[in-house]
Amino acid sequence: MRRYAEMAGMIQGPDCPTGASASPRPLYIILEPEAASAFLQDGGLLNISLTTKDRVLVADVGGGTIDLVVHEVTECRPGAGALKVKEVVPSYGALGGGSFVDINFFNLVKKKVPCYLDFCLREYPALPLQLFQWWQKVKLAFDGSRDFCVDFNLINSGLYKAWMEYDRERHIHREEREYWNLRFDFDDFKHVFDTEVVKVIDLIAEKIDMVQVLMVVGGFAASPYLKRRIYEHFEGRRQQIVIPVDPGRAICVGGVWLYLNRSFIQSRISRKTYGVSTVRHWNEGDPENLAYKENDGRRMCRDVFSAFVRAGDQVNLGESEERYVSPSNSYDRFLNVDIYSSSATDPLYTTDRDVRLEGSFQVDISDGMELGTERLLKLSMVWGDSLISVTATPKNFGDQGRQKAGLEVRFESH
């Protein structure tokens, strides 16, 4: 989403069109699980009393994804709820949710009425939309009761005739009235819902032991059946379970509050290792194809991954990590800074298979030629909401106040 917003010039970033100026009303992207966590800050609204070091597991169960985050309260105020939180473990999740339930439903329809798809294509193209609209209402009515049963009328569309003819051509004979409605009972609904319900419960179970509060939000969280299954599965545990009356609206309310209180999220857990490509003395075991000799005969190793932050590390938003680098040759007039990322915790070389180039820039170091390889350049990485700002500043040469270069790369913490 951020990449497309950058391409449209709505926010500044690596993919902004050349020469695009900052928007006077820049887009601010808020993650739904974090918005839900912010919704919890108003303790009175949900009758929840949070104290410092309490942990909250937020499960955002939407249409196409299930996203979970664990936050620990770092600062709170009596009567005002949590004021600041930090991420405890890397956010996690899976594809799934309400849209997948819809897919399961239509697969069941095609199984019950084998000629359904062909009939829609040839005779009644509007039927899928009519069935979908009916299904959206029925889906919210299913609460897991064993006597639950609903019928969808097939007479008006004419599908009942096509279905009856389809069966009779295959020597299947039933009374005509049995084709008038498409019936769905408890077992049908359970079949449609359970793959996604179990997925949600399993994801929650992964981290629930480390928290005091479980909060479930998102469009699919409005399902009475999902609510019932969550309460039944985690019944008797010490965790307080919170599912707002309107779980979709909770995200909107929390999102507005989070925009107005941007210091609420204090830190995140990095899902990747970020660093730069450097050169060092060659060590035994280094790949031969990365070895080379300097003019003075020193054997060196290029493309070495120098990590600023590793996957799984806590990153405090707004803070920076710094490293000092210098040119490998005294006659170098420019120094290239290449920023890499890796899903591995300890990548050794920037040529490793799981290492990706995030961006690069060049720094003019010609002002300090007399210092040769003693020229020092300070590299800084500042961690933002979803971007890393990388800058390079001369330390012992040139105009340190003006000679500065850098770029922004994406920070994957979610």
Closest residue by Cα to residue 151 from 122, 121, 112, 190: 112
Q: Give the pLDDT confidence score for residue 404 in this predicted structure.
A: 55
Q: How confident is the model at residue 413 (pLDDT cuts 50, 70, 90)?
A: low
Q: What is the mean pLDDT of residues 57-62?
A: 94
* More confident position, 394 or 225: 225
Residues 6 or more apart in contact with residue 349 via CB below 8 angstroms: 287, 290, 303, 304, 305, 355
Q: Which of 37-51, 75-89, 314-328 has the lowest mean pLDDT?
A: 37-51
Q: Give the pLDDT confidence score for residue 392 in this predicted structure.
A: 86
215 close to 36: Cβ distance less than 8 angstroms: yes
Residue percentage of the chain with pLDDT more than 70? 91
Q: How confident is the model at residue 369 (pLDDT cuts 50, 70, 90)?
A: confident
Q: How confident is the model at residue 45 (pLDDT cuts 50, 70, 90)?
A: low
> What single letter denotes the amino acid at residue 366?
S
Tokens 């295959």 locate to 170
Q: What is the mean pLDDT of residues 82-100?
A: 93
CATH code matching the domain that covers 2-96+193-269, chosen among 3.90.1150.10, 3.40.50.2020, 3.30.420.40, 3.40.190.10:
3.30.420.40
Torsion, Cα of 46, 48, 50, 54 (10° steps): -100
Using the predicted structure, report yes or no on whether residue 14 has a pLDDT greater than 70.
no
Using the predicted structure, report yes or no on whether residue 79 has a pLDDT greater than 70.
no
Mean pLDDT of the chain: 88
Cβ-defined contacts of 258-264 (< 8 Å, 24+) = 258/30, 258/34, 258/35, 258/38, 259/28, 259/30, 261/38, 261/41, 261/83, 263/84, 264/38, 264/41, 264/82, 264/83, 264/84, 264/85
Q: Helix (H, G, I), strand (E, B), or coil: what is residue 126?
A: coil
Token output for 223: 């399902």
Domain 273-410: give its CATH code: 2.60.34.10
88 close to 74: Cβ distance less than 8 angstroms: no
Q: How far apart are CA 218 and CA 100, in angstroms?
A: 14
Q: How far apart are CA 393 and CA 378, in angstroms?
A: 5
Q: Which of 1-5, 263-267, 290-294 has the lowest mean pLDDT?
A: 1-5
Q: How confident is the model at residue 320 (pLDDT cuts 50, 70, 90)?
A: confident
Q: What is the mean pLDDT of residues 129-157?
A: 96
Token output for 396: 């012992």
DSSP class of residue 245 equals S
Q: Give the pLDDT confidence score for residue 362 in this predicted structure.
A: 86
Q: How confident is the model at residue 335 (pLDDT cuts 50, 70, 90)?
A: confident
Q: How far apart are CA 383 and CA 178, in angstroms?
A: 63
Using the predicted structure, report yes or no on whether residue 324 has a pLDDT greater than 70.
yes
Residues of the chain within CATH 2.60.34.10 domain(s) are 273-410
Using the predicted structure, report yes or no on whether residue 13 has a pLDDT greater than 70.
no
Q: What is the mean pLDDT of residues 155-174?
A: 95
Q: Give the pLDDT confidence score for residue 225 in this predicted structure.
A: 98
Backbone angles phi, psi at 250, to 5 degrees: -60, -35
Using the predicted structure, report yes or no on whether residue 10 has a pLDDT greater than 90.
no
Q: What is the mean pLDDT of residues 177-193?
A: 97
The DSSP result for 163-197, as a single string, is HHHHHHHTT----GGGGSEEEEEHHHHHHHHHHHH
Q: How far apart are CA 249 and CA 221, in angstroms?
A: 11
